Structure 1
Amino acid sequence: MSSDTSLSNLETHLGYWLRTVSNAVSYSFSRKLETEGVTVAEWVFMRILYDFDSLPPTLLAERMGMTKGAITKLADRLIEKNLVERKANPADKRAQTLALKPEGRSLIPRLAALADDNDNAFFGVLEDSERNELERLLRKIIERRGLTDVPTD
């Protein structure tokens, strides 16, 4: 067994602790979403659409930090599930937009409640001031590092 004391232990890395929490939060949330028949990526896709009548796939791809091809695959899955529809873009008949169908729109409050419950299950152990500080620090890292991708797994 090697005992190189110049090597840092896993536990000395903040990324180790962040990944431990992130994996648990993500796994728990994905299991909850499975009961509703959607994935985390599909939830994010639909939650973004919820705030708009419709969006062009390119804008949705930009907001989610994904390729247009990945958005097309997500859209196809959600169309197959009868939650999203493609429409002709009123401003340019050659282009399309994506919109939630009534079934998808009515599902969003239930999914949002699952997201809230999941957050509370993990972060409810923190005092409000601790939770606010954690969010502030994470947002600071995101801003300083220029991180723009929306988490979808």
Structure 2
Amino acid sequence: MPPRRRVSDLDNHLGYWLRMVSNAVSHAFAARLAKDGVTVAEWVFLRKLYDVETRAPTRLAGDLGMTKGAISKLADRLIGKGLVERTADPDDGRAHTLGLTRSGRDKVPRLAALADETDAAFFGDLEPSDRAALDRILRTLVERRGLNDVPTE
């Protein structure tokens, strides 16, 4: 039998540690959102609509790096929950726009507080300079790699 080649250990990779932290943060946030009746993807959708009155589904798909089909499914779910409404586009009778209902607009700040609390729970123990360095490094990687899809999972 030929000798085994030495291979690197899992924990020798930055991606391993990044994924460990990312998974923990994502799962904790998803669990908090679930108690409020929404998924992470729905939260992202709601948060994006919070800053605008209405948005065409195609434009929203581009903003979030999602397909029109995915946007349509999310919109349908959020309409069913009474958080989003679909209205006819006043400039194009064949098109429609999406916007938050009053309930949706009221819910976003509560959900944003959950995001802030989750962030503080996971990164609050870091020294401010370490947190700033981590933020700078991650943003640099995103920029250099041209990553622009909004995380929804």
Q: TM-score range by the shorter chain?
A: over 0.9
2:34 corresponds to which residue?
34
1:73 corresponds to which residue?
73
TM superposition shift of 1:90: 1.6
TM superposition shift of 1:6: 2.7
In the alignment, the residues of structure 2 paired with residue 12 and residue 138 of structure 1 have an alpha-carbon distance, to the nearest angstrom, of: 19
Deviations 1:72-109 (A, max 9, x none): 00000000000000011122121111000000000011
In the alignment, the residues of structure 1 paired with residue 78 and residue 121 of structure 2 have an alpha-carbon distance, to the nearest angstrom, of: 28
**Matched residue of 2:49: which SS?**
helix
TM superposition shift of 1:146: 0.5
2:148 corresponds to which residue?
148
1:92 corresponds to which residue?
92
**Matched residue of 1:97: which SS?**
strand
TM superposition shift of 1:5: 5.0
TM-score if structure 2 supplies the norm length?
0.96
2:135 corresponds to which residue?
135
**Matched residue of 1:48: which SS?**
helix
TM superposition shift of 1:10: 0.4
The runs of 4+ residues in structure 1 deviating greater than 2 Å are: 3-6
TM-score if structure 1 supplies the norm length?
0.96
Runs of 5+ unmatched residues, structure 1: none
In the alignment, the residues of structure 2 paired with residue 4 and residue 119 of structure 1 have an alpha-carbon distance, to the nearest angstrom, of: 43
Aligned-partner residue type, residue 104 of structure 2: G
**Matched residue of 2:61: which SS?**
helix
Give the number of equivalent residue pairs: 152
Aligned-partner residue type, residue 54 of structure 1: T
Pairwise CA RMSD of aligned residues? 1.3
**Matched residue of 1:147: which SS?**
coil
